[in-house]
Structure 1
């Protein structure tokens, strides 16, 4: 019986056969190094203290010079350096950040050394990877990251699954794109991007030259000579180049490997052969079409809608013919969750593109053909067009809940107002990313105009009882202020002389409030940016702190430090940040102190609800603070009160 003094345990270990193993714990024991089930022959502790090792784990060297990682040796550690390795009792670790479960390190070592006899215990087809299970989803090969075939070398539970052909790849190869040195099969421990496709593969094998810092993916090392794809009418032929080229499909540089279409006279990256022809993109409402060349005369602007830099129309781009909007290919496809591929069956579907006006009937018009008396789908009485700002200038639009301005419609029978632009909004509108698309953008969703009581806007998060567009699928709401913002290609802010453009992947600090953000409205001409909340701040508001209307102010009104205080909370103001100001009374107030939690709620309107037999109206902090009929606490915050005289019903909004 062979005895072994083993690293990591205080007692000697004995070699056990199957019969001896069955006598110790009924043969169902775990290896104390790799954590997997032990099978004979194996080693067990002579003191029977429950310490067992696979023979291969017991004989594993403390330092491993791995052929796929030639820069540094791998050291066997008993305690993993990261808490995430909860399943690994022992790992091989390198100072460059490469870590392997002990079984995986030995498995790939034997693959590299062609010690195939050591892999005789490894099944060529593991039952859990049968093509009959899970709809034929076999996982992916660790070497080439292509789907697994029926027969693979398999390392249980760790994802080191290999095609037989990938396990037998040559360890060295001479390659046309790098004739100085042979390329060696290795792990991508330096996280190099592939010289051919420019993609960085985080895991798996590749062919590399450490001296020249060069890497080539396995499938890129021996590319197909001819590729056909349904997105293009002709086949593409492989063309080796030893100089850079510009891809006609995406307009970016390529190296060494190109594919050409002789019929069309174009040269492209391998990955660009299968570019989707039509996509839906989160920052544009219409479908976008891929074109190799576009005539510039059809476009007013050639700036990409994503990055706002010029697009070279001599190369491929995505464009919308309806809006003259254009994207760089790599901008349109930058984030997988922010675009969707439109199938050929749906490419002609424009059923949602025709807007239906929310004005249900025009009763009277003026000489200019302008509707002066209308019926609206969200109000039961006739509405009359007016421009009498002196008479109604302190009223709010019931749709967007901002102070009315210019021309507006109002009801002669009740306190109801609509901006002319709000009254003319369509009943149904396609809307982009919101609650329906948390995992993957699947195209615009149809949303219905509604004034259903109270909602939280899915974009700005403000509580409101104005109009909103409600998604048919998930029930989320978008307020009209956010809608108006997203429909604009450029936003003009009164406090800044240049238009602001929306950047989806920009981090910084807002120039109005100082808060951090992860996407912004930025000025291309100067260093100025705003977060989405500050862009939609109303320019005119009314507040109980002043009898006049307060104006949003962008510059210092007074340079004296003693004036930089808020007249509501009496705390200091940062003079660099926006605030609301009354020139008549010299009142200055923090933006948050003016807007608060309920700035976009109209009090006094009545609503029919199921919780009470009479209509209810919104109130806040009424003078005598009655008790809530549900929780019994005083109604000191937003509440619903019965509008019927003599009925004392009142309930907190949250209740």
Structure 2
């Protein structure tokens, strides 16, 4: 089969079967010929894919008023090889307007068409958007990986209808992206100043401060006071709550985080191995510097700021900190993993008080101690490193020993050396309770040898002192966590 092609009019082209290994290129698309190929019968090295040879010589695009003619890219004619729709450079042939419009489309964008809709849905074909002055046309056959949605920055696809304004090079996915309500101003935790929605187009690339990717001619949120600070709409409006979203933003890290499976990695908050749902830094170029940023989804639920009874004077803020800084409650630092550590820190008051996240969930009873300015916390967990000495008897406080300790200075007391108050009021009893040696007479006379705390209804150690109401025969451990006030 032979054809006469407009761009090679002097010789006929013959259809032949070629392999990619033959290393011949198509004049229309510049790709290697593989399969059915038209070849010049006179040996001119002029070759065409069969599909490229069938491209129409003229198209009428809905995004330009004049017919577009197929022809070779000519930078001398148009001054550029850039497609006026997708901003991509073109090789081979393009569709060009010859009416002095200096307008051209690449072979993919030239075939975008108004979407086919049912008669009852014709109002969907042309739509207005509250943030754009021109009407938007519902398009189909949008080429893959050419045109980004201005809201989510994901490429539009021919399989999904897209609203477009070609003169402004603006595209929006039909559905959720088109219907997204954009607040005119937001306050984002990445930046101290308000961010304002900017709809102006730029002739230079814009770099998002969250994901660091470069884009041009997009809507974004920018700071009017710090002109260089801006964020993509997609980054600025990422969800901040953890509901197993595929991508989120979080105040602990300046880049978007994506749900993933992590092996042999440690969470930056709790330093424990990552098991179950895990979020990792997903920031494109900047991921080279964030290779070890992983968070358990549960650890991202810690609040940014807390008030804690261990440090009642100032709020504590969840921040990253140096490896050497110790937790005031546990008296130790995190293990030396090469990752960022996050803890609750007293910020801006010169207190140097730090609390590991796992310690922030512990609510130990605390008491006042005459002659000491700080509250003493009752310790029921292991005291690390066995290096604490009792300030009263000077002997070591062994692991698993009960003790009172000051979180601010080196004051530690064994339970039997400690300042247990003589009288207390308890949440579970109306009368005052008196400190008494255990067991009491009624328990000694009881032949069952069972000793229970009436507050928690669990078995207690008969060797430890108790608080007792003789009128009601109410007994509670002196170590009971529901101890509230002293008198």
- For normalisation by structure 1, the TM-score amounts to 0.24
